[in-house]
Structure 1
Amino acid sequence: MSGEPGLEDLLRGLAPQVLGVLGRRYADFDGAEDAVQEALIAAYRHWPEDGLPGNPRAWLLQTATRRLIDAYRSEASRRAREEKVADQEPDEPGDTEIIGRDDSLALLFLACHPSLTPASAIALTLRAVGGLTTAEIAAAFLVPEPTMAQRISRAKATIKKAGARFESPSPDEVAERLPSVLRVLYLLFNEGYAGAARDDAQRGELSREAIRLARMVRAAAPADAETAGLLALMLLIEARRPARLDPAGRFVSLADHDRTRWDRAMVREGTDLLDGTVGHGEVGDFQIQAAIAAVHDRAATADETDWPQITALYHLLEQVTGNPIVTLNRAVATAMAQGPEAGLALVAEVEPRLAGHPRLYAVRGHLRELAGDRDAAYADLRAAADRTTDRRERDHLVREAARLRGAAEPAG
């Protein structure tokens, strides 16, 4: 929601509280969510001009309730429900039902229902828990607004068909759904940090929302090491954001970051969280990824990076996930620790599983340059640029390829 940051933060904090009241009161998540969205849009339009109401939560609840009642009254096929709802007047300011209760966690677990695809769960999470409008979510993911609206509508229909109810998750449901929730938040953060959003401000908005939600889950599950590991990973990576683009808005590789620009308070919080997970249950992939990020962030310069430790951690992560992209990352670490030929041997092993993937060409091009084969490196970097969908990443790869030829090759 574009506009004043203070207003955005207020509305995003209030959105799940108001939705929680309507969801519990009318047992209609779909209708309540639409009504709250309309109330948020109305607040965003009127509050900057009319001033903040004395009780913003009650204002939103009144407005959303009226929108929901109007929707029920307009549906002739739902007369029975209309009679039940129309008798209830909208709450006056000061309604105590929402005071002191935050349904964000219940909404998050509902939006991340296991019956949903990750893409649908992310979209619904941003609307129901994050308070973003459909237009804002569509802009962030570079799809038309009607397409995103259909995705959200299908997600709500899927939840309804699955029989999901709006209520606080039981301990068993938390344990069962927590992995899905963490995976959705991880994907949301990645989209914010390195996705295809039009600008870094949009990306930062998604990343901050993922971190906010991860903090909420962490508070609800303080003993879960993977939840702490995910939050630590987000903080350790987000801390680098100030250095990831140069003054011209061009992508800067991690090795070339100006590390004095990193958010050191965020790094300390992430490393402290990670340290607190040691000895608490089975080690999962988020904890391992956070440990890798911590090794990078603790190094004052790229040359001081402990590459043997990162190599070992990637090997462990590879065993846990079986992900071929992890093998590529291990190849880079291995090359830095043992030489480019050792890294290229790993790339050759994983190549059949990643045929045509831009990351394969980018890594191989980097390692071939380290090995002194500039012509082969150039060809790989150009192939990577041709295959990537991220504009900034493509421009970076084109510039790197041009550097190998000693020419100023234009991007775009």
Structure 2
Amino acid sequence: MVSDPRVTRSLTRLGGLYRDPSRVDRDASTLLKSSVGNHLTPGIAPLVENNGEVAHCLVLQGTIAMHFRGNTYQLLVDLYLPPGYPHRPPVAYVRLTENMYLKENHMHVGSDGKVYLPYLHEWTMRTHNLVELVVAMSSVFSADPPVFTRAPSATPPPPPPATILPPVVVNDPPPPMPSHLLSSSNTSQQQQQAEAEARLAREAEEANRVMEAARKAEREEQERDQQMAAQKRWELQKKQQVKEQVLQKVLKHLQEVSMETKVQAQNYQRDQQRLNIAEEKLEKQLQLFQQAKNTLEEKSTIVEEKTVEIQEWLEMAAQAEQQNGTAQKEKSIDEVVQPVLKIHQQMLDLSAENASLTDALYFLDRCLYLGNLDCETHLKHVRQLAKRQFLARAHLMKVNQHLIRHPELGSTASF
């Protein structure tokens, strides 16, 4: 977009008034080159802020189009770009010409001509611009014009000065007037009559003009009443539309909140079910741990009791040995430990055989490793010993299962 040189010159004169002069130049030039702002002219003028401060800033002065009852009118406006533009919205004023007046209690224009629009109230630098502002002003003012005209008061012309005649004394009859003086007198009377008729015509024309002005003022008053009624209907309709929009938004928001609440309630219910299941599992585990604890305590008690019995037996054996006074000779483990039942003896034999076969297999592997035995002989003896060890272990497992099924067989032991 090519900048308007008039705007560029004005910004140069203002110096560093604006933080973003390129944005100001672009927005103002776009408005001046558009169809809605081609009657505006840039300049520099003082702007009085609400706090009383005065700042010279860029102003766009001119007219904007206003369409009313099929006719197009040009409304005189001033668009000020304050120092904080575009962060701050523009400031707009409606200006008056001769025989033009501001409408009282207008919805969007104050008594000083300042424009108040929702577009200005909702101004943001990213979404709003001057072209849309002028379009909004033209649309709002076309629905409800902020100004009206009034015919100038007609003042009747001053009456002509009265002719003062000297008093006439009738004593003797006047002498007859000459013929040339008689014609002159008739002419003067005709002129006076013509002037009187012209004066009457002017007075009649003035009266007609006053009556026409009164009728025109009455028509304008009726038009203003009609405009006010139309404006009230439009405002009522707009209010109803806004109410419906707000109601729809509230209903939509309530539906969304209801759905979110429902989903959250379902999630909470599922979490509660999971917690209940986890609580049941924890209770079962606690019960199992308590049972295991009780079992371990019982077995610990049994072990302690057996330990006490063994200690008592050892003490008794030591006392008996001291009483006899003679030291018994050392005995082998086979003589000290004697099984009570044959099945116990069988378990000892099988366990000893299993251990001896494991040792034999180990030494066979060592001989193969050291080269004292060939591979074929090694495999032959390993097969034989492994078969014997398998049978011994299988027999030992059967004996162990029999003892588990009959625990009373393993309840006693002899030393």
For the aligned pair, the TM-score class normalised by the smaller chain equals under 0.3
Compare CA radii of gyration and give the structure with the larger one. Answer: 2
> Quick one: higher RCO (CA 8 Å, sep 6+), 1 or 2?
1
Q: TM-score, normalised by structure 2?
A: 0.18
Normalized per residue, the structure richer in helix is: 1
Identify, as 1 or 2, the structure richer in strand. Answer: 2
